[in-house]
Amino acid sequence: MPKILATGGAGFIGSHVVLELLNSGYEVVVFDNLSNSSVKSIERVGRMSNGAPVFIEGDIRDGAALDALFEAHDIAAVIHLAGLKAVGESVSHPERYYDVNVAGSTCLFNAMLRHGVKHGVFSSSATVYGEPAPETMPMDEHVPTGPVNPYGKTKLMVEQILTDITSVGPGWRSLVLRYFNPVGAHTSGQIGEDPLGFPDNLFPFIAQVATGRRKILNIFGDDYDTPDGTAIRDYIHVMDLARGHVKAIDYLLGSKAVDNETPVVNLGTGHGASVKDVHAAWEAACGFKIAAQVAPRRAGDVTIYCADATKAKEMLGWEAEFDLAKMCEDHWRWQAANPEGYR
Ligand code: NAD
Ligand code: UD1
């Protein structure tokens, strides 16, 4: 079976993608500098799957390390997940984001060019849509982009770099996947999200309140123009997302993909849930009350973000299967079994 390189494959999304690739029969090489992850995720994936992934510790900004990898392994396609993803940090330290996300991706694409590796899937984010008007919901891929922070800008830049390289490289085919809000964990509870430090995002924060690591959930604003006043997002189970990557690789390596094209595909459920919906679903999953209070709005938050995922269904034959209850149950199983994450 073809061998797939997953940069950032030790991370939250990457570990689930690697597991799903292995269980679909692909061979996998993981390349990760472990700056935001643990090698334990890959060890566990190896124990849970049909075949263990090869793990190489390294940085995507290190061209020589990438050369050594591509010389040692005959890679059919790359799934490029490695990068920095904290919106707040990207505002205070934009240089890190341009260095790792933009320069690092360019270094990777140059190494692919040197070694004749012509297929790439890029982990982008719905955040590239910026602050679209609520009337544009659910958003398809034609909604104009307009990222409002350095993180989002780097994601859009890398989309454009990959698109341009693909457009002229003989035999090149790529895919950009724009994820909405990935949450949950593998249903075994063995692998999951393990944020270092203070969790910025809703699911990991609630998970830490549920285990007692944090005292109370702050609901950021209940005066939005939504049915219950709290903001709405399109949460997607990470295993649905992982399956979407296998479909993306199947597509790129199959007969339907077109040379020199880089389609952009939203991966979301198409269903929105409010912060209060999420809080209630977590209480149901845990079977106990989770302390919460209404707090002021968080700067930069939008009222509603929701995907139109029709293109993913038509082009990749993919659609999300898991609902909010399953996302909370699986996230909670992982967190309860691993209250300190991989540490
Ligand atoms: P993560 O931090 O868990 O995974 C990223 C991985 O990349 C980590 O294992 C980290 O160690 C590695 N990495 C970082 N810099 C590196 C470098 N210079 N060289 C090699 N490896 C490096 O994050 P995640 O949530 O799994 O996100 C994966 C990708 O998906 C990222 O590109 C992110 O921007 C994108 N994305 C994530 C979300 C989300 O909510 N989690 C949403 C949209 C898009
Ligand atoms: C965040 C990122 C976005 C990224 C996405 C991926 C920001 C500003 N945006 O989006 O770039 O693509 O994650 O998952 O960080 N909330 C609370 N209390 C909390 C935490 C969050 O009420 O303690 C609310 C937020 O106000 C928001 C919702 O929960 O309405 C979801 O928040 P979050 O999980 O941080 O995701 P996004 O803001 O959608």
Ligand nearest to the CA of 127: 2
Residue 50 pLDDT greater than 80, yes or no = no
Residue 37: pLDDT band (50, 70, 90) is very high
Contact 134, 303 (CB under 8 A): yes
Ligand 1 atom showing the smallest separation from residue 35 Cα: 11
Residue 250: pLDDT band (50, 70, 90) is very high
Each domain of the chain, given as residue ranges in start order, spans 3-183+236-268+308-321
Q: In this structure, what is the dihedral angle of CA atoms 309, 4, 50, 52, given to the nearest 10 degrees?
A: -130
Q: 3-class SS at 17?
A: helix
Q: In this prediction, what percent of the chain has a pLDDT beyond 70?
A: 100
Closest protein CA for atom 7 of ligand 2: 87
Instruction: Convert the pLDDT of each residue in 26-35 to its tens digit.
Output: 999 999 999 9
CATH architecture label of 3-183+236-268+308-321: 3-Layer(aba) Sandwich (3.40)
Sort 87 into a burial class: Cβ within 10 Å, 0-12 / 13-18 / 19+.
middle
Contacts of 192 (CB under 8 A, 6+ apart): 12, 184, 185, 186, 238, 330, 331, 334, 335, 338, 341
Q: Does ligand 2 come within 6 angstroms of the Cβ of 231? A: yes
**Region 242-248: what's the mean pLDDT?**
98
What does pLDDT average to over the chain? Answer: 97
Secondary structure element (H or E) that encloses residue 4, with its range: strand 3-7
**Region 55-72: what's the mean pLDDT?**
98
Residue 189: pLDDT band (50, 70, 90) is very high
- The Å distance, Cα 101 to ligand 1 centre, comes to 10
Residue 209: pLDDT band (50, 70, 90) is very high
CA distance to 148, 207, 282, per residue, from 342 (Å): 33, 15, 22
From 219, 223, 301, the mutation candidate for ligand 2 (largest count of ligand atoms within 8 A of CB) is 301
**Region 152-163: what's the mean pLDDT?**
98
Ligand 1 atom showing the smallest separation from residue 194 Cα: 3
Residue 300 pLDDT greater than 80, yes or no = yes
Q: Does ligand 2 come within 6 angstroms of the Cβ of 200? A: yes
Nearest of 16, 38, 36 to residue 246 by alpha carbon: 16
Q: Which backbone phi and psi does 46 adopt, to 5 degrees?
A: -60, -40
Contacts of 203 (CB under 8 A, 6+ apart): 183, 184, 193, 235, 278, 327, 331
Confirm whether 151 is a catalytic residue: yes
Long-range (24+ apart) CB contacts under 8 A made by 279-285 are 279/206, 279/217, 279/219, 281/324, 281/325, 281/327, 281/328, 282/206, 282/210, 282/328, 282/332, 284/325, 284/328, 285/325, 285/328, 285/329, 285/331, 285/332
Give me the catalytic one of 151, 179, 235, 305.
151
Residue 197 pLDDT greater than 90, yes or no = no
- The Å distance, Cα 275 to ligand 2 centre, comes to 10
Closest protein CA for atom 15 of ligand 2: 87
Residue 44: pLDDT band (50, 70, 90) is very high
Q: Does ligand 1 come within 6 angstroms of the Cβ of 104? A: yes
Residue 275 pLDDT greater than 90, yes or no = yes
Q: 3-class SS at 69?
A: helix
DSSP percent split of the chain into helix, strand, coil, nearest 5: 40, 15, 40
CA 181 to the chain's CA centroid: 8
**Region 307-319: what's the mean pLDDT?**
98
**Region 237-257: what's the mean pLDDT?**
97
- pLDDT value at residue 134: 83
Contact 288, 336 (CB under 8 A): no
Residue 324: pLDDT band (50, 70, 90) is very high
Q: Does ligand 1 come within 6 angstroms of the Cβ of 182? A: yes
Contact 259, 173 (CB under 8 A): yes
Nearest of 189, 163, 160 to residue 174 by alpha carbon: 163
Closest protein CA for atom 31 of ligand 2: 202
Residue 343 pLDDT greater than 80, yes or no = yes
Closest protein CA for atom 17 of ligand 1: 59
CA distance to 4, 22, 119, 196, per residue, from 30 (Å): 9, 12, 16, 21
Contact 233, 147 (CB under 8 A): no
DSSP codes of every residue in 73-112: S-EEEEEE--S---HHHHHH-HHHHIIIIIIHHHHHHHHH
Residue 133: pLDDT band (50, 70, 90) is confident
- pLDDT value at residue 112: 98
Both structure tokens of 194: 């393990």
Residue 198 pLDDT greater than 90, yes or no = no
**Region 93-100: what's the mean pLDDT?**
98
